[in-house]
Each structure stands twice: as structure tokens, then as C-alpha cells.
Amino acid sequence: MAERTSVLGTGLVGCGWAIVFARAGFEVTLYDESPEALDRAQAQIASSLADLASAGLIDDAATVRARIRPAPTLADAVRNARYIQESVFEDAEVKHRLFAALDELVGAQTLMGSSTSAIPPSQLTRDLATRERWLVAHPVNPPYLVPLVELVPAPWTAPATVAGVRALMQQMGQVPVVVKRELEGFVLNRLQGALLNEAWRLVEEDYISVEDLDKTVSDGLGLRWSFMGPFETIDLNAPRGVREYAERFGPFYHSLANSRTTPPAPWGEALVSHVERLRREQLPAEELDARRAWRDRRLMALVRHKREMERAT
């Protein structure tokens, strides 16, 4: 019999996780406090699976869907679960209440991950009897297309929990990375934030338009980064590798960092209005949904392309 995983919370993130687990052959129980949300989630999952099938990313949507079962109670959902992925509303109090309830319900071997993108795990699990078996497993949306998962242990998370969830995520076809100890924003959003903060500032100081800044990434920096990380990129960009790159360009990047003598201001109202106006000129509000559908098609095609490339090499 297939092993069981449990997804608690059925927003976009929870639905995404259910697809990841079921696609990998696991039995998935899906739970939400709200029966209406649970109904909506099943429709959402069916729709996403149909999209994946028509993009050629899964063979048989019905088989995958049949592995996902809505559970009537929390106790039923987590019974015999090898792994529980919490994906409820991003609020420490809401998560606390759920985690306390789980403390009484979960089996002795169950491992547990929270999808939180910003709450430090120590703040969520400090007082739990099961706290050694909890960590943060932060996905990128949607996790069935973007495979990266940040695993962030609290100080008391057992090494076996990190190793176990890492192995499980690999088995699922995800790409887990370990953030060795907790820090604000974890790693992915710190990298994203460093680039975003510089981007907002360059527009605020009127060095470049919003449209041209976007092209700088989508037609420049972003191409290599879709298949190589920044360290591999610079390692290959100097004949003798990363040391030579650091010797030649390190002082330049250090000078750039130090050319900012004040920390960035908040993204202020005037700046946000400016960027919003320019974005709405490029893409009217009524076309946002159509553009999101375009983005999802592009992401699916890119994932298929990457798979073909990885098979070929």
C-alpha cells in the first residue's frame, strides 16, 4: 500500500502540495476546517491536474487525482501519515492552534513541515511535545512546477527530521535545500529581496524604466539563472574558475555594494503609485488574469524543456 502524506490547509499552496505528493505515488489526505474550502480545493486540484496533463507533464490526471482523499476530521487526516505538510493561513496564532492539536494526534514516527514563508520555525514549535519532528518546508508557488523547497530547522529540530524530510522531498521529485539555521526571510526571499530592493531603488532614482528593468532580467540575467546558480555562473565565467572571478571582479561588486550609503527606504506610496501606473500601462488590470494564465503556460513549457534537457545530458 502507498504511504500516506497529509496536507492541512487547502489554499493554493496546500492544493499544490497535494499534487506534488499524489504525482509521486503517495496517498494524500486533504483537510481544511472549512468544508466549503475543501470542496473548492478539489475543483482547483482537478483543474491544475488537467492543465498539467495537457502540457504533457503528467500522464494520467485521473490516477493522480484518485490518490487524493478529503478527510472529514483532523484526526482522520493525519492517522498513519508518514509526513504532514501544514499550509494553513499565514498567521502565527492560527498555526499555533493547529500545531497544538496535532501534538495530541500524530503518530510517533510522523515528520511535519510548515509551508510558512516568513515565520521562524522556533516561534511556531517551541512548546510542542513533537518539536523535534517539525521544521519549515517552504515551497515556491506552485510547487508542482517550481521544485525548490527550503528546509529550515528550529534549534531543537532533530537532524533525523531534516534528513528524513530531505529524502522524502527528493523522492517526490522536489529539490530540497537546507537552511542550516533559521534567519529572517530564509534564503530564497533574502536573495529575491536583495535584487528587488535594488530594482525599486533604481526605478525610484529614475535610472531606468520599470519595463526596461524587467527586460534586464528576463532577457539578460535570468537566462543562465534558470539552469545554473550564481556561484556556478561566476565559476564558469573566468578561465580558472571562481577564484579568478573573485580576484578580478570582487572589488567591483564590493564597490557597488558600498555605493549605497543608506539602507533602502520602504517602498513608499509615491513610488508604488508610479510603478503601478507604469505596470497598468503595460498590462491593464482586466488582463492580469489572462497574463497569469500565460505565465503558467510558460512555466509549464519551461519545466518540460528543462526535463528534456536533463534527460539528454
Cβ nearer to a second copy, comparing 126 with 254:
254
**54 contacts a second copy (rule: CB under 8 A):** no
**104 contacts a second copy (rule: CB under 8 A):** no
Rounded to a whole number of angstroms, the minimum distance from the CB of residue 192 to a second copy is: 6
Rounded to a whole number of angstroms, the minimum distance from the CB of residue 284 to a second copy is: 10
Measured CA to CA, the distance from residue 73 to residue 89 in angstroms comes to: 18
Q: Which stretch binds a second copy (CB under 8 A): 47-55, 108-116, 121-129, 296-304?
A: 296-304
**Angle between helical axes of 288-312 and 35-54 (0-180°, round to 10):** 50
Q: Which of 35, 72, 155, 250 binds a second copy (CB under 8 A)?
A: 250
Enumerate residues 228-247 that contact a second copy by CB under 8 A: 228-232, 234-237, 240-243, 246-247
**105 contacts a second copy (rule: CB under 8 A):** no
Cβ nearer to a second copy, comparing 104 with 232:
232
Burial tier of 106 (Cβ tally within 10 Å: 0-12, 13-18, 19+): buried
Rounded to a whole number of angstroms, the minimum distance from the CB of residue 219 to a second copy is: 4
**286 contacts a second copy (rule: CB under 8 A):** no
CA dihedral for 227, 296, 94, 112, sign (positive or negative)? negative
SS3 27: strand
Q: Which stretch binds a second copy (CB under 8 A): 22-30, 37-45, 154-162, 188-196?
A: 188-196
Size of the site for a second copy (CB under 8 A): 106
Enumerate residues 110-169 that contact a second copy by CB under 8 A: 118, 140-141, 145-148, 150
Edge-to-edge strands of the sheet including 111-114?
Answer: 68-70, 27-31, 4-8, 81-86, 111-114, 134-139, 148-153, 175-178
Q: Of the candidates 303, 302, 280, which has an alpha carbon nearest to the alpha carbon of residue 291?
A: 280
Measured CA to CA, the distance from residue 92 to residue 168 in angstroms comes to: 26
Rounded to a whole number of angstroms, the minimum distance from the CB of residue 204 to a second copy is: 12
Compute, in degrees rounded to 10, the torsion defined by CA atoms 26, 32, 37, 38: 40
Distances (CA, A) of 251 to 11, 169, 242: 46, 39, 14
Q: Which stretch binds a second copy (CB under 8 A): 3-11, 93-101, 128-136, 262-270?
A: 262-270
**25 contacts a second copy (rule: CB under 8 A):** no
**257 contacts a second copy (rule: CB under 8 A):** yes
**307 contacts a second copy (rule: CB under 8 A):** no
Rounded to a whole number of angstroms, the minimum distance from the CB of residue 83 to a second copy is: 20
Cβ nearer to a second copy, comparing 75 with 178:
178
Enumerate residues 196-225 that contact a second copy by CB under 8 A: 196-199, 202, 206-210, 212-225
Q: Which of 53, 75, 105, 303 binds a second copy (CB under 8 A)?
A: 303
Rounded to a whole number of angstroms, the minimum distance from the CB of residue 136 to a second copy is: 13
Cβ pair 35, 114 in contact under 8 A: no
- List alpha helices for the chain, DSSP H: 12-23, 35-54, 61-66, 74-78, 92-105, 121-125, 159-171, 188-204, 210-216, 222-225, 230-236, 242-258, 269-282, 288-312
